[in-house]
Amino acid sequence: MLSQVYRSGFQAFRQRLLPGVQSTALSRSRATDRVQPSAIRHVRSWSNIPFITVPLSRTHGKSFAHRSELKHAKRIVVKLGSAVVTRGDECGLALGRLASIVEQVSVLQNQGREMMLVTSGAVAFGKQRLRHEILLSQSVRQALHSGQNQLKEMAIPVLEARACAAAGQSGLMALYEAMFTQYSICAAQILVTNLDFHDEQKRRNLNGTLHELLRMNIVPIVNTNDAVVPPAEPNSDLQGVNVISVKDNDSLAARLAVEMKTDLLIVLSDVEGLFDSPPGSDDAKLIDIFYPGDQQSVTFGTKSRVGMGGMEAKVKAALWALQGGTSVVIANGTHPKVSGHVITDIVEGKKVGTFFSEVKPAGPTVEQQGEMARAGGRMLATLEPEQRAEIIHHLADLLTDQRDEILLANKKDLEEAEGRLAAPLLKRLSLSTSKLNSLAIGLRQIAASSQDSVGRVLRRTRIAKNLELEQVTVPIGVLLVIFESRPDCLPQVAALAIASGNGLLLKGGKEATHSNRILHLLAQEALSIHGVKEAIQLVNTREEVEDLCRLDKMIDLIIPRGSSQLVRDIQKAAKGIPVMGHSEGICHMYVDSEASVDKATRLVRDSKCEYPAACNALETLLIHRDLLRTPLFDQIIDMLRVEQVKIHAGPKFASYLTFSPSEVKSLRTEYGDLELCIEVVDSVQEAIDHIHKYGSSHTDVIVTENEKTAEFFLQHVDSACVFWNASTRFSDGYRFGLGAEVGISTSRIHARGPVGLEGLLTTKWLLRGQDHVVSDFSEHGSLKYLHENLPVPQRNTN
């Protein structure tokens, strides 16, 4: 009864403090202490920090098996290590870092989660205060005894940790209180010792206090009572779920997490996570997921610059918490580029730090797949051209021989996608006998063109006598191709990777799971004839695209195949990895005053209506002003009406009409459907200016019978593909005779337009000499540079 009165009073106090803000008390079952599914959440904003409270419900018992499940975590403990909380000089707190952490905790708390902090910092804060007091008192005494203005150098005595903790605890809590108040959140301090967990009555009291605070939407801030804690002892426990001593804040956080049945424990330290060898060593690799039993294969380094526990203590505490049903992530809370969002990133399931899991995946991790693709690609590049061509021919044969199995798998995907995908995406997802036959033809074209792709000599130079330089083509390395709803993309890209000797990671959409699986198996079957099966890997784990884009040490080029939004997201997420592609396909067609009526109508129909969802479909039709109210214009409009194309009028076009179609909202729109923008221009130059201003440098077309006007357009439009009297739909690797394409690039460097085999190659320099040294070419040396161009071996075009 008393607690109910107190809670009512507290909520009334919150309402007076924050008028107009609804209570954040959640509908809970007192038996389970969980949010009921019917709980309603609202979007709100306190102190200009927007957040969304979300219904969170989970029965505690088992830890989460995958990172993607962490977003369902309801009760979370965040442990802040000494290295995170303190400054580099160990005297005082890292205030900016702490403010960022408090903000993230507040955002998660205001989403309806139950947040608890286990924090270090009292000793460092107290050390700063005590040093200041000692310096002040020493300076006064010296001034009184010496009578001199200049003070002698003063030695500061070694400060005892318990005294520092006693002096710093109140200041540390006052700082947290001030920071959380900015987000309208109340915090409460709890100091504990080992006895509070091992004495049954004290343990029940502690448990009850914490639950009461959480029910009142208060963030408990827990710390060991370092003013009275005994000296640290060697690790002699951590052997089972029921035995763990509170020696440091790592063991405290683990004990608290299990005691309170929390869903997630986040341990922030000054390293990125757990490495397979001491961080900083040459071969050290960050472990993404750590499983119980793996600690035997890990070499632990020294502990952090401050704090009582090293990484070994953190791992032992994490495994103890994991065994108790709490998921654990160890991550870096000090890195300036990530500390501002490290906690929220972890809860969102992003690949940050080391995730502890009891469930081992059935297959290799994506990091292992990247290594296999790298090794397999290097072996692939060493094969003879005829051997790579043989692999591609075999894959082409398998596409037709295994047609029934492929179409059966595709049928499963279509049935599962029915009602979930829009019609254009379902069309992309669908495979047919004719599609498979076309794929096989395209693959055989790739095989024919791959005969001298890798190792082709582009340039030869005689630097000096017996010193010759060659520039030759080589694979880029490992490609990551991410594609949506297009299983036919997989064999195309696989064939191009094989022909160019590149390793390949494939990440397809889940809507094409069955189709992608069988097509990948066929690709690996073809690769097996020359022992390079591992060169092409299909990523089947729950890896998010954003996480894949961070594997800059394993991936050399990312190629997105999908919607413009997918491409934009990947370009934004990719850190240190080049992205080849285009974010939009805003293709234009300019119909000149000297255009043929029949040609113009046919070209507009094919460009817009043949496949409106394609990136090379027409989106904006530019009409010369002189063609308005002519038979040519009327015929185009009638054709579009018959094809049920919705017309959007550009500003100038609308001004010529009494009753115009809906005016376009933006002249820079990719519709991807049976919709078309029509605008009027006065000249070919105005058409070019419009394309440069509103286009995406993809594909642009002129329709005219005037060759001079056409050549002017071809030379002046700065796009990847520029056509004269041809449909925009010709912008395609297969139609260009490249066999297939990995995508269409609007980039200014490396590859532009439909990217086929040539776009997946780079070069390296080979220098062959005989004991040549640079000093021989100095002013008084015996040799002179010749720099003679040498003939290049003729390319095989058969």
Q: Which helix (H) or strand (E) holds 511?
A: none
The closest of 499, 681, 494 to 588, measured between CA atoms, is: 681
Domain end (from 306, 327, 354): 354
The predicted-structure confidence for 654-679, as pLDDT tens digits, reads as follows 988 877 678 889 999 999 889 999 99
Q: Give me the residues paired with residue 243 across strands.
A: 240
- Asked if residue 24 is part of any domain, the answer here is no
- Cα gap 138→684, rounded to integer Å: 85
Residue 547 sits in the same domain as residue 590: no
Residue 533 sits in the same domain as residue 637: no
Residue 386 sits in the same domain as residue 289: no
- Cα gap 275→268, rounded to integer Å: 15
Sign of CA dihedral 260, 264, 270, 271: positive
Residue 541 sits in the same domain as residue 596: no
- Asked if residue 16 is part of any domain, the answer here is no
Nearest 5°: the CA angle 674, 680, 681 is 130
Residues 755 and 740 sit within 8 Å (Cβ to Cβ)? no
Task: Indicate if the pLDDT at residue 171 is higher than 90.
Answer: no
Domain holding 489, by residue range, is 364-571
Residues 228 and 281 sit within 8 Å (Cβ to Cβ)? no
Instruction: State the pLDDT at residue 527.
Output: 97
Residue 550 sits in the same domain as residue 467: yes
Tokens of 22: 């609804």
Residues 489 and 538 sit within 8 Å (Cβ to Cβ)? no
Task: Indicate if the pLDDT at residue 798 is higher than 60.
Answer: no
| Most confident among 158-162, 216-220, 355-359 (mean pLDDT) | 216-220
- Asked if residue 578 is part of any domain, the answer here is no
Residue 426 sits in the same domain as residue 528: yes
pLDDT band at 246 (very low <50, low <70, confident <90, very high): low
- Asked if residue 731 is part of any domain, the answer here is yes
Residue 528 sits in the same domain as residue 639: no
- Find the mean pLDDT for residues 165-171: 80
Helix or strand or coil: residue 3?
helix
pLDDT band at 235 (very low <50, low <70, confident <90, very high): very low
Cβ neighbours of residue 583 closer than 8 Å, sequence gap 6 or more: 564, 567, 568, 571, 696
The predicted-structure confidence for 53-84, as pLDDT tens digits, reads as follows 444 555 556 889 888 899 999 999 999 988 88
- Find the mean pLDDT for residues 764-768: 94
- Asked if residue 49 is part of any domain, the answer here is no
Distances (CA, A) of 329 to 195, 589, 599: 27, 54, 63
Q: What are the backbone angles phi and psi of residue 746, rounded to the nearest 5°?
A: -105, 15
Q: To the nearest 10°, the Cα dihedral for 753, 758, 763, 768?
A: -150
Cβ neighbours of residue 519 closer than 8 Å, sequence gap 6 or more: 406, 487, 490, 491, 494
Cβ neighbours of residue 9 closer than 8 Å, sequence gap 6 or more: none
- Cα gap 294→66, rounded to integer Å: 17
- Asked if residue 315 is part of any domain, the answer here is yes
| Number of domains the chain contains | 3
pLDDT averaged over every residue in the chain: 83
Instruction: State the pLDDT at residue 173.
Output: 86
The predicted-structure confidence for 125-157, as pLDDT tens digits, reads as follows 777 777 777 777 766 656 555 554 444 455 556
The predicted-structure confidence for 486-532, as pLDDT tens digits, reads as follows 899 999 999 999 999 999 999 998 899 999 999 999 999 999 999 99
Domain end (from 299, 334, 354): 354
Tokens of 205: 């009291």
Tokens of 403: 């047609």
The predicted-structure confidence for 590-599, as pLDDT tens digits, reads as follows 999 999 999 9
Residue 530 sits in the same domain as residue 548: yes
Residue 262 sits in the same domain as residue 403: no
Helix or strand or coil: residue 243?
strand
- Cα gap 176→412, rounded to integer Å: 55
Task: Indicate if the pLDDT at residue 362 is higher than 80.
Answer: no
CB atoms within 10 A of CB 491: 26
- Find the mean pLDDT for residues 102-128: 88
Q: What is the DSSP string of 154-213?
A: -PPPPPPHHHHHHHHHHHHHHHHHHHHHTTT--EEEEEE-THHHHSHHHHHHHHHHHHHH
- Find the mean pLDDT for residues 258-265: 94
Instruction: CATH number of the domain at 596, please.
Output: 3.40.309.10
Q: In Å, how far from its chain's centre is CA 732?
A: 28
Instruction: Sort 177 into a burial class: Cβ within 10 Å, 0-12 / 13-18 / 19+.
Output: middle
Q: What are the backbone angles phi and psi of residue 177, rounded to the nearest 5°?
A: -55, -45
Residue 369 sits in the same domain as residue 349: no
- Percent residues over pLDDT 90 in the chain: 52
- Cα gap 694→558, rounded to integer Å: 26
- Cα gap 178→197, rounded to integer Å: 29
Residue 547 sits in the same domain as residue 653: no
Q: What is the DSSP string of 265-325?
A: EEEEESSSS-BSS-TTSTT--B-SEE-TTGGGG----PPPSSSS--HHHHHHHHHHHHHTT
Instruction: CATH number of the domain at 266, please.
Output: 3.40.1160.10
- Cα gap 143→149, rounded to integer Å: 7
Residues 317 and 251 sit within 8 Å (Cβ to Cβ)? yes
The predicted-structure confidence for 599-610, as pLDDT tens digits, reads as follows 999 999 999 999
Helix or strand or coil: residue 796?
coil
Residue 344 sits in the same domain as residue 405: no
Cβ neighbours of residue 533 closer than 8 Å, sequence gap 6 or more: 376, 524, 527
Nearest 5°: the CA angle 260, 263, 266 is 95
pTM of whole model > 0.75? no
- Cα gap 87→334, rounded to integer Å: 10
Residue 232 carries which DSSP code? P
Residues 463 and 786 sit within 8 Å (Cβ to Cβ)? yes
- Cα gap 685→786, rounded to integer Å: 48
Instruction: State the pLDDT at residue 638.
Output: 95
- Cα gap 419→417, rounded to integer Å: 6
Tokens of 170: 């109140």
**In this predicted structure, which of 92-106, 246-260, 427-441 has the lowest mean pLDDT?**
246-260
- Cα gap 400→9, rounded to integer Å: 75
- Cα gap 301→313, rounded to integer Å: 11
Instruction: CATH number of the domain at 509, please.
Output: 3.40.605.10
The predicted-structure confidence for 535-573, as pLDDT tens digits, reads as follows 999 998 766 787 788 888 899 999 988 777 888 888 888
Q: Which helix (H) or strand (E) holds 329?
A: strand 327-332
Residues 307 and 226 sit within 8 Å (Cβ to Cβ)? no
Q: Number of H helices and number of E strands within the chain? A: 24, 28
Residues 512 and 429 sit within 8 Å (Cβ to Cβ)? yes
3-class SS letters over 91-112: CCECHHHHHHHHHHHHHHHCCC
336 versus 590: which is more confidently predicted?
590
Instruction: State the pLDDT at residue 659.
Output: 73
Instruction: State the pLDDT at residue 160.
Output: 72
451 versus 533: which is more confidently predicted?
533
- Find the mean pLDDT for residues 575-582: 84
Domain end (from 701, 723, 740): 740
Q: In angstroms, how far is the first alpha carbon of the chain from the final one?
A: 92
Residues 585 and 564 sit within 8 Å (Cβ to Cβ)? yes
Instruction: State the pLDDT at residue 342.
Output: 94
Instruction: Sort 683 into a burial class: Cβ within 10 Å, 0-12 / 13-18 / 19+.
Output: middle
